[in-house]
Amino acid sequence: MSTEEEFSFFDLVSEDLLPSRPTENLGESFLTFDGLLPAPGLKVTEDGGAAGCGGKLWPAGELLSRYMIRTNDQYNGKFTNILELGSGTGLVGLAIASLRREQKDLKVWVTDQENMISLMNQNIALNDLEDTVKAEAFYNFDDNRGDELPAYATENKIDVVLAADCVYLEAAFPLLEKTLLDLTAVENPPLVLMSYKKRRKADARFFKHMKKFFVFEEIKDHMDYDKFIKDSVFLYKIKRK
């Protein structure tokens, strides 16, 4: 991994990567994305941020979910092994799996740190998607083995990597960079689709640095985009150089 400054991120524990936030928005939501998802829609439980900021629904997750639903005809059949990073509630992966419920060869991994696994499993069960969606920890911070990709990410040909609001905390940028570099360091690397809310100048520095390794293309040509960019929420297609 190449970074502009040294950073011992493998020594961090999961709680250190997430700023504390007030607990709010507890409970279960029923989502159809304005009718884009057919009945029965999607049920998502939020813990209000009790386990970290990932336990809530965020606009970047909604944007990426809407994009994947609207472009399902384009990608259906091409993306059978889907890996979502920093899934939090599991929203994006669950939305895809719910839409493509009848596709028997579809596999979706929703991943985050260990403290989010219980919530993701709860949401998988709420939607009866246990056969398709698996909740996994991506890196194990507690035993300092974060330099190894997990087996499910190497033993399966990942077709697309999804990341909604992973550009959140500056301290985690080196880990996100390493993760994306590792996942795309293969023959025929997966496409990366990333949505994020612009919050600080450090975001721009992160993307500038990442452009050494990846080609970024902003996805503007879908009907929901205007309302999101008004709130500084953006969507990118990212390919390894």
Q: Supply the mean pLDDT for the chain.
A: 85
Structure confidence at residue 52 (pLDDT): 57
Tell me which of 39 and 91 has the higher pLDDT. 91
Structure confidence at residue 72 (pLDDT): 94
Count of beta carbons in the 10 Å neighbourhood of residue 184: 20
| Residue found under tokens 């209000």 | 48
Evaluate whether residue 87 is within a structural domain.
yes
Any binding-site annotation on 164? Answer: yes
Evaluate whether residue 4 is within a structural domain.
no
- Tokens representing 158 are 């990942």
Chain-centroid distance, C-alpha 72: 17
Q: How many domains does the chain have?
A: 1
Evaluate whether residue 191 is within a structural domain.
yes
Structure confidence at residue 15 (pLDDT): 37
Confidence of residue 54 (pLDDT cuts 50, 70, 90): low
DSSP string, 122-187: HHHHHTT-TTTEEEEESS-TTTT-TTS--HHHHSS---EEEEES-TT-GGGHHHHHHHHHHHT-SS
Evaluate whether residue 170 is within a structural domain.
yes
Evaluate whether residue 161 is within a structural domain.
yes
Any binding-site annotation on 60? Answer: no
Evaluate whether residue 74 is within a structural domain.
yes
Any binding-site annotation on 48? Answer: no
Lowest mean pLDDT among 26-35, 158-167, 169-178, 217-226: 169-178
Which pTM value belongs to this model?
Answer: 0.85
Measured between alpha carbons, how far is 152 from 61 in angstroms, rounded to an integer?
23
- Tokens representing 5 are 């400054």
Crossing angle of the two packed helices 59-70 and 91-99, in degrees rounded to 10: 20
What CATH number is attached to the domain comprising 92?
A: 3.40.50.150
Per-residue pLDDT tens digits for 86-112: 999 999 999 999 999 999 999 999 999
Any binding-site annotation on 55? Answer: no
Evaluate whether residue 127 is within a structural domain.
yes
Per-residue pLDDT tens digits for 134-155: 999 986 544 444 567 889 999 9
Contact 159, 191 (CB under 8 A): yes
C-alpha dihedral sign at 214, 8, 152, 92: negative
Evaluate whether residue 7 is within a structural domain.
no
Per-residue pLDDT tens digits for 185-228: 999 999 999 999 998 888 888 999 999 999 999 999 988 899 99
Strand 107-112's sheet: what is its strand order? Answer: 133-137, 107-112, 81-85, 160-164, 191-197, 233-240, 214-218
- Tokens representing 204 are 């721009």
Any binding-site annotation on 87? Answer: yes
Tell me which of 135 and 11 has the higher pLDDT. 135
How confident is the model over 111-119, as a mean pLDDT?
A: 93
Which residue range forms the structural domain that includes residue 107? 24-240
Examine the pLDDT at 118 and tell me if it is beyond 90.
yes
Examine the pLDDT at 120 and tell me if it is beyond 80.
yes
φ and ψ at 50, to 5 degrees? -60, -35
Examine the pLDDT at 2 and tell me if it is beyond 50.
no
